[in-house]
Amino acid sequence: MDPSSSPSSDNKTVVTSSHLSDMATAGQSSGKYYENLDAEVAGKIQRKVGLIYDETMCKHDTPDGEDHPECPDRIRVIWEKLQLAGVSQRCVVLGSSKAEDKHLQLVHTKDHVNLVKTISTKQKDYRRNKIASQLNSIYLNGGSSEAAYLAAGSVVKVAEKVAEGELDSGFAIVRPPGHHAETDEAMGFCLFNNVAVAASYLLNERPDLGVKKILIVDWDVHHGNGTQKMFWKDPRVLFFSVHRHEYGSFYPSGDDGDYNMVGEGPGEGFNINVPWDQGRCGDADYLAAWDHILIPVAREFNPDIILLSAGFDAAIGDPLGGCRVTPYGYSVMLKKLMEFTHGKIVMALEGGYNLDSIAKSSLACVQVLLEDKIIQGSSEAYPFESTWPVIQAVRKRLCAYWPSLADELSWKLINQKIPNPIILISSSDSETEDDPHGLVYQISKLSIENHQVDTASTSWRADLAKVDIWYASFGSNMWKPRFLCYIQGGQVDGLKKACVGSMDKSPPKEIVWETFPHRLFFGREYTARWGVGGVAFTNPLANLNDQTQMCLYRITLEQFNDVLCQENALNLDSDSAIFDLAALQSAENQISILPEAVSLVCKCCLVGEKRRHSHTYNDLHAFCC
Ligand code: X5A
Ligand code: ZN
């Protein structure tokens, strides 16, 4: 294969704002219809994106109204979000349709279809709970049958319109979800396998539409066991699922989601599983799987249409998934799929249980389908160290079928030099004071006074915006509204004068409370900016049994500079950064010479696995005062 198009070319997976440049297209995301005119003036025709939402699917609910993650509000919040953002107004909104039994029976047994069909009838009232309890992770009520028929039928309808060319792409906002449902069994909150029914419908019932090869991408955090089984021996369907697997212990559990499950007979090689063995996977991990598995294979397979089992339970904040994909991550994954099939993509909702996350992620995806500009950047730059062995194993297992997977990933790629995360602590005051250990003072000098570096560079903001740091606060700045004054501007109680905020007003990407084995070693009662209330520093040499609670905000290094300016009553519009990359580097070096007990512990280490870098406790973290 041509090495220049090799999926293993270096640095592909680093998620930076450079991804944005690939993405820029005409049209804005605010949803005013006249912006579509802009798009057309720019020579771009607005794409026709279909949406189906029907409140009737909300009637499927727990029998006695008990709380359940797969709740009716899931699809409501998505629909409301699309409306509020002005995005649904730019789409083609279609009415829902019930699936036909003969289409359901393309992938389900007659018995299963009949069970779901009759489950909500009066005659079943007394048996319904019993039936549900004998199934795996299923509840049923009087609304279940109709919702299941509408969910499957709606995915079929969007798929049909996209295949016909009447729509460019579409999103069926449906529930119950489908991908766990097997030929003869409802499970995992799924009654009919909506996506599988649609795929089989196109292939078997609509030869006139010319769909001969279908790529099903399943990015729900759970393995799409049902879909896998339904097309196990079918080379017309390439099934790709990325999911938590945890060596077979994550739902739906067992070996089905293993990467050795590649299909059988004529379907051998047409089933691809990417099993994560731990949670916390995020944008960078998913995009690594995209860049080094899915995208090269999709290029070879050359599908006629893509069906997307779009669960959003790998999203950050999901209560079941434990992963960390951001709306931006989803939009990049989807955008990368738009290169195929002239963008003929049918999204069907699967899981996703954090209402806010699924609404935002859905919006980001529909904006991609509309070819809006992708705005937000991602939080994470590098995959887990443990992600590469998974990707390598999958590539190795499947390279006999997909030559583009045959090359070894380059050493450079999988051993990317990863900048250590740094915790920066700033106080609200720049006056110097005795620092018994010299450390705090020394670094403070280093950071505040060495700012005549590279004044020629006016682009310091862009550069520093790409670097995330942890801003560790204690005392007053632990109160979020107070810290946010530095980022978003404003004045809270206790602040003597309003802050202008950072140039980049995006809120901290993460806020974490951690207890550190250090105690406060000095404080000040009064500071220029805050008046009475003061600041404190942790004593790095204190007894390790002493504990200090700190609040860590993940912000960019650009924002950190603006925080520093405001704390020290300096102007924000300086040509150079107060604390630039060189300062960060020297702060790191200063810290690295200190004995182990001295340094703070980076949040990654506290949370668990060695992520994205390997380090010991003594190679981290800068103080900046
Ligand atoms: C569609 C989906 C999850 C089932 C989890 C059961 N199902 N514990 O996300
Ligand atoms: Zn799921």
Residue 590's alpha-carbon distances to 296, 441, 447, 467, 550, in angstroms, are 44, 12, 12, 19, 22
Q: Quote the pLDDT of residue 377.
A: 60
Phi/psi at 547 (5° precision):
-120, 140
Share of the chain above pLDDT 90, in %: 56
Q: What is the mean pLDDT of residues 459-485?
A: 78
Element (H, E) at 18: helix 18-23
Location of structure tokens 């003597």: 496
CA distance 43 to 37: 10
Report which residue type is found at 432.
T
User: Which residues fall inside 5 Å of ion ligand 2, going by CB?
Assistant: 220, 222, 311, 313, 351
- Collect all residues with Cβ–Cβ distance below 8 Å to 214 and sequence separation of at least 6: 199, 202, 203, 236, 237, 238, 303, 304, 305, 306, 307
Q: Is 520 exposed, middle or buried (0-12, 13-18, 19+ CB in 10 A)?
A: middle
CA distance 427 to 425: 7
Q: Quote the pLDDT of residue 513.
A: 73
Other CB atoms within a 10 A radius of the CB of residue 404 amount to: 22
Q: What is the dihedral sign for C-alpha 177, 302, 276, 354?
A: negative
Q: Quote the pLDDT of residue 136.
A: 96
Q: Give the 3-state secondary structure of residue 517.
A: coil
356-413 per-position pLDDT tens digit: 999 999 999 999 999 998 876 655 667 888 899 999 999 999 999 999 999 999 988 8
350 Cβ inside 6 Å of ligand 1: yes
CA distance 152 to 301: 26
Location of structure tokens 């390790």: 544
Q: Quote the pLDDT of residue 36.
A: 46
Catalytic residue among 180, 222, 613, 621: 180
Other CB atoms within a 10 A radius of the CB of residue 481 amount to: 11
Least confidently predicted of 1-5, 475-479, 482-486: 1-5
Other CB atoms within a 10 A radius of the CB of residue 500 amount to: 16
Q: Residue ranges per domain, the chain? A: 49-406, 463-602
Q: Which two tokens stand for residue 385?
A: 């160290």
289-317 per-position pLDDT tens digit: 999 999 999 999 999 999 999 999 999 89
Question: Rounded to the nearest 5 degrees, what angle is found at the Cα of 129, between the Cα atoms of 126 and 133?
Answer: 145
CA distance 337 to 343: 7
Active site residue 613: no
The residues pairing with 306 across neighbouring beta strands, listed in sequence order, are: 215, 345
User: Which residue, judged by its Cα, is nearest atom 7 of ligand 1?
Assistant: 188
Query: Among the ranges 273-282, 424-433, 596-605, which has the highest mean pLDDT value?
Result: 273-282
Q: Where are the alpha helices (DSSP H) in 85-138?
A: 101-104, 110-118, 128-134
Instruction: Give the CA count within 13 Å in the CB-facing half-sphere of 241.
Output: 33
Render the burial of 455-472: b for 16+ CB within 10 Å, e for the rest.
Answer: eeeeebbeebbbbbbbbb
DSSP secondary structure code for residue 556 in this structure = E
175 Cβ inside 6 Å of ligand 1: no
pLDDT band at residue 166 under the 50/70/90 scheme: very high
Query: What average pLDDT does the structure give for the chain?
Result: 79
Q: How far apart are the first and last CA of the chain?
A: 54
Question: Rounded to the nearest 5 degrees, what angle is found at the Cα of 276, between the Cα atoms of 186 and 325?
Answer: 90
Beta carbons of 597 and 541 less than 8 angstroms apart: yes
Q: Quote the pLDDT of residue 585.
A: 67
Mutate to test the pocket of ligand 1, among 137, 138, 191, 241 (most ligand atoms within 8 A of CB): 137
Other CB atoms within a 10 A radius of the CB of residue 337 amount to: 23
Distance (Å) from CA 323 to ligand 1 centroid: 14
Q: Which two tokens stand for residue 14?
A: 């680093």
Instruction: Give the CA count within 13 Å in the CB-facing half-sphere of 340.
Output: 26
Q: Mind giving me the DSSP string for 177-241?
A: --TT-BTTB-BTTBSS-HHHHHHHIIIII-GGGT---EEEEE-SSS--HHHHHHTTT-TTEEEEE
Distance (Å) from CA 368 to ligand 2 centroid: 22
Q: Which two tokens stand for residue 62?
A: 């727990």
Distance (Å) from CA 102 to ligand 1 centroid: 26
Render the burial of 96-122: b for 16+ CB within 10 Å, e for the rest.
Answer: bbbbbeebbbbbbeeebbebbeebbee
188 Cβ inside 6 Å of ligand 1: yes
Maximum separation of any 2 CA atoms in the chain, in Å: 82
Q: Is 61 exposed, middle or buried (0-12, 13-18, 19+ CB in 10 A)?
A: buried
Residue 482's alpha-carbon distances to 263, 493, 547, in angstroms, are 56, 8, 23
220 Cβ inside 6 Å of ligand 1: yes
CA distance 15 to 5: 19
Whole-prediction pTM: 0.67
505-556 per-position pLDDT tens digit: 999 988 877 665 544 433 444 444 444 443 444 444 445 565 666 677 888 8
Element (H, E) at 452: none
Phi/psi at 230 (5° precision):
-65, -25
Beta carbons of 440 and 535 less than 8 angstroms apart: no
190 Cβ inside 6 Å of ligand 1: yes
Q: Can you tell me which atom of ligand 1 is nearest the CA of 187?
A: 4
Q: Where are the alpha helices (DSSP H) in 399-529?
A: 411-414, 439-449, 460-464, 480-488
Instruction: Give the CA count within 13 Å in the CB-facing half-sphere of 150.
Output: 21
Least confidently predicted of 263-277, 491-505, 506-520: 506-520
Q: Quote the pLDDT of residue 545.
A: 60
Q: What CATH architecture is 49-406?
A: 3-Layer(aba) Sandwich (3.40)
Least confidently predicted of 183-187, 513-517, 578-582: 513-517
Tell me the residue length of the chain.
Answer: 625
pLDDT top residue among 554 and 347: 347
pLDDT top residue among 468 and 347: 347
222 Cβ inside 6 Å of ligand 1: yes
Distance (Å) from CA 437 to ligand 2 centroid: 52
Phi/psi at 386 (5° precision):
-75, -5
Q: What is the dihedral sign for C-alpha 548, 552, 557, 562?
A: negative
